[in-house]
Amino acid sequence: MERIVFLDSDTLIANLPLPKFAHQWESYPATSHDDVASRLIDATVAITNKVALRREVLERLPRLKMIAVAATGTDHIDLACCKERGIVVSNIRNYSVHTVPEHVFMMLLALRRNLFAFHSDIRGGEWQKAKQFCLFTHPVQDLYGSTLGIFGNGAIGSSVAGIARAFGMQVLIAEHKGCADVRPGYTAFHEVLERSDAITLHLPLNDSTRNLIGEAEFGRMKQSALLINTARGGLVDEKALHDALASKRIAGAGFDVLSKEPPSEGNPLLEIDLPNFILTPHIAWSGRSAMQALTDQLIDNIESFVAGHPQNRVA
């Protein structure tokens, strides 16, 4: 009989259908690093959203046969160790192709039209003192006719591109950083930085994408450009972003992710109190319908593994 342990069930708000096969189920709202090994000691299937499973833990779990990741990103799983030990790792695909793009455009619209700056002016009495019916204290820019650079052309990036085109934006899909050959339909990395009025990131976090955007990249961007990140915090050098906003090197940014979550004191982005910087607490993915789709697929992944034909494998 399979023994399934869910390490961080409070990370999902959804109706959780239990697997149809005979099993033992154990669920914890959250699990600290020190408790991971003891809670999984007899598990054959581990479910984790963000609890890390590294080599030092995996080597202490002789019965573990599968890790069902309740997310798309797997940077918290030691995939190399899983391959060595024959542990199947499956993730979730395409569940957030509507909710994340909506969050992207919420941020884009708010920043392009200076929503929070105008809101602050009204609270400060500026409109009430105006000599005319409207207030021109901040520029208002349209999405129509502007250029959106997309880094990451998977399901979410493609969905963002579709919405952008519906707004009348020109879309540039960025080629990999440092790649000499540019594929048809793609634009060179540095050219996307230079031409885009807004850039949005939809990439996994790995050795090749960590700090993808740093001081040098901000130096290539338009001073009027925006940067949106709803993917992973480590894609952007946070100190470089802080400095780019403080020096007005770029016009604004919208972030839903940080390099460490929950964030700790000392993260430079927590210090920013500007109307052109929006920080949300990693919720772009969490539309209720999206979370239900994730949960349904999570159980389907486990059932497929037990039936002998694993799906959505990353290891």
Catalytic residues: 232, 261, 282
SS (H, E, C) the chain: CEEEEECCHHHCCCCCCCCCCCEEEEECCCCCHHHHHHHHCCCCEEEECCCCECHHHHCCCCCCCEEEECCCCCCCECHHHHHHHCCEEECCCCCCCCHHHHHHHHHHHHHHCCHHHHHHHHHCCCCCCCCCCCCCCCCCCCCCCCEEEEECCCHHHHHHHHHHHHCCCEEEEECCCCCCCCCCCCECHHHHHHHCCEEEECCCCCCCCCCCECHHHHHHCCCCCEEEECCCHHHECHHHHHHHHHCCCCCEEEECCCCCCCCCCCCHHHHCCCCCEEECCCCCCCCHHHHHHHHHHHHHHHHHHHCCCCCCECC
